[in-house]
């Protein structure tokens, strides 16, 4: 629900569009403007004035959507990460083999950055070290990907093992995600110098070895 100039909540509809819909549309417009400014100029230059100028909206609508600059950055980051996560899920669901899931997931992740350097700058650089609240958001999403990869390892590699092997699934996943983030960040800093296919081959080496090791171990147990 939007707020009018007098500060009163406005629930009226205009041209069949509700106040809530209008507020959502304005927020998406502000998010697009924020990505443009943060992604190209950095968070330090993402002032209220700069984002409002880019969006064509007034500061009143900025503060309707965000509490402050920190909140704007967190919401923008979560918005873009959520889209990546959905795209990865959609991509890997069409594959059965674990190795294929790893490769297509990595390709989807890296292609996002190469296709839109603004997103790469936001996710890999601009959210780092801003504030404790932003750090929590970043770590929460990183842990989400770690849990996702951990579950993939468990399902695709060790699902047939009937005894508790006490294997370090989380360590495998954390190491893999950490390597991906570090290599992807360096790839962006070198202006995507390395070929995408080679990047996928190189980064997928670690998780692929985990899968192969798990299969050998499972075979020995059986």
pLDDT tens digits, 97-118: 767 888 898 999 999 999 999 9
Same structural domain, 124 and 58: no
- DSSP code at position 129: T
pLDDT above 50: residue 161: no
Q: Report the pLDDT averaged over residues 174-183.
A: 86
pLDDT, position 133:
96
How many independent structural domains does the chain possess?
Answer: 2
**Residue 105: which CATH number?**
1.10.357.10
Same structural domain, 159 and 119: yes
Same structural domain, 76 and 45: no
pLDDT above 80: residue 86: yes
Domain end call among 19, 35, 66:
66
pLDDT above 70: residue 16: no
Most confident of 58-62, 98-102, 206-210: 58-62
- Cβ-based neighbours of 171, under 8 Å, separated by 6 or more: none
Confidence bin at 6 (pLDDT 50/70/90): very low
Domain end call among 66, 92, 119:
66
Measured CA to CA, the distance from residue 104 to residue 88 in angstroms comes to: 8
Q: Which pair of tokens denotes residue 117?
A: 């350097």
Question: Which uninterrupted H or E stretch holds 103?
Answer: helix 98-115
Report the DSSP beta bridge partners of residue 3: 9
- Cβ-based neighbours of 38, under 8 Å, separated by 6 or more: 46, 73, 76, 118, 121, 122, 126
Same structural domain, 53 and 121: no
Q: Are 131 and 70 in contact (CB under 8 A)?
A: yes
Same structural domain, 44 and 108: no
Same structural domain, 122 and 94: yes
Tell me what percent of the residues of the chain surpass a pLDDT of 90.
Answer: 54
Q: Are 65 and 48 in contact (CB under 8 A)?
A: no
Same structural domain, 93 and 170: yes
Same structural domain, 33 and 102: no
Measured CA to CA, the distance from residue 99 to residue 204 in angstroms comes to: 8
pLDDT, position 10:
56
pLDDT, position 158:
55
Q: Could you list the residue range(s) of the whole structural domain that residue 116 is in?
A: 69-221
Measured CA to CA, the distance from residue 42 to residue 94 in angstroms comes to: 36
Confidence bin at 157 (pLDDT 50/70/90): low
pLDDT, position 3:
55
Confidence bin at 191 (pLDDT 50/70/90): very high
pLDDT above 50: residue 221: no
Same structural domain, 16 and 96: no
pTM of the model: 0.82
Q: Are 101 and 95 in contact (CB under 8 A)?
A: yes
Same structural domain, 90 and 167: yes
pLDDT above 80: residue 213: no
Please tell me the total number of residues recorded for the chain in this structure: 222
More confident residue, 207 or 61: 61
Q: Report the pLDDT averaged over residues 22-51.
A: 96
């Amino acid at each position: 629900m939007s707020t009018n100039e007098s500060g009163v909540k406005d629930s009226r509809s205009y041209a069949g569009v509700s106040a809530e819909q209008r507020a959502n549309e304005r927020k998406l417009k502000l998010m697009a403007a924020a990505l443009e400014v943060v992604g190209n100029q950095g968070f330090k230059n993402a002032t209220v004035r700069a984002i409002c100028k880019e969006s064509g909206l007034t500061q009143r609508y900025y503060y309707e959507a965000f509490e402050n600059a920190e909140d704007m950055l967190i919401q923008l980051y979560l918005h873009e990460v959520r889209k990546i996560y959905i795209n990865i899920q959609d991509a890997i669901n069409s594959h059965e083999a674990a190795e294929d899931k790893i490769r297509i997931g990595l390709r989807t992740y890296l292609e996002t950055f190469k296709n839109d350097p603004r997103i790469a700058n936001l996710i890999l650089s601009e959210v780092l070290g801003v504030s404790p609240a932003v750090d929590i958001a970043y770590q929460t999403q990183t842990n989400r990907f770690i849990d996702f990869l951990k579950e993939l390892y468990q399902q695709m590699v060790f699902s047939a093992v009937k005894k508790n092997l006490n294997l370090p699934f989380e360590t495998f996943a954390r190491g893999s995600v950490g390597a991906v983030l570090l290599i992807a960040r360096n790839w962006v800093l070198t202006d995507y110098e390395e070929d995408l296919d080679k990047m996928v081959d190189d980064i997928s080496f670690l998780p692929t070895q985990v899968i192969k090791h798990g299969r050998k171990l499972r075979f020995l147990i059986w």
